[in-house]
Amino acid sequence: MIENAIPVLPVSDLPASLQFYVKELGFQVDWGGEPGAKVASVSRDGCPIMLSQSLAPAGGAWVWLGVQDASLFDQLRSRGVRVVQEPCNDSWAYEMKFADPDGNVLWLGTEPRTDLPLLDASD
């Protein structure tokens, strides 16, 4: 029986990444991150992400984060988090992509908006 699946994002500097995830994204440190640590776990609203400085080259990973509404988009943008893709409305989600300092992509999405046209709709 599988109990859960937790993404592990490769990072180049664990202390700097922890600071970004906590201060900019609003996550909390669950464990790890002490001096000399190479792995830590952060979470927000019960959704964990692990950060690893040593398992793979930094960057290149993507994580989907389903959100209740698009208010988090504006919150992250106002904190200066790097936008990779502006909000767009597709049939599967109203979504926006951000990047962490190592280039890992945080793909946030909520239900498609009914007040906007769908980008992937065929004529």
> What is the set of domains in the chain, with CATH numbers?
8-110 (3.10.180.10)
Output the six-digit token pair for 17.
């990444």
φ/ψ region of 33 (left if φ > 0, alpha if ψ in -120 to 50, else beta) reads: left
Instruction: List CB contacts of 105: < 8 A, sequence separation 6 or more.
Output: 61, 62, 63, 84, 97, 98, 99
Instruction: Please compute the mean of the pLDDT values over residues 108-121 and round it to a whole number.
Output: 90
For 15-48, what is each residue's pLDDT tens digit? 999 999 999 999 999 999 999 999 999 999 999 9
> pLDDT tens, 39-77?
999 999 999 999 999 878 888 999 999 999 889 999 999
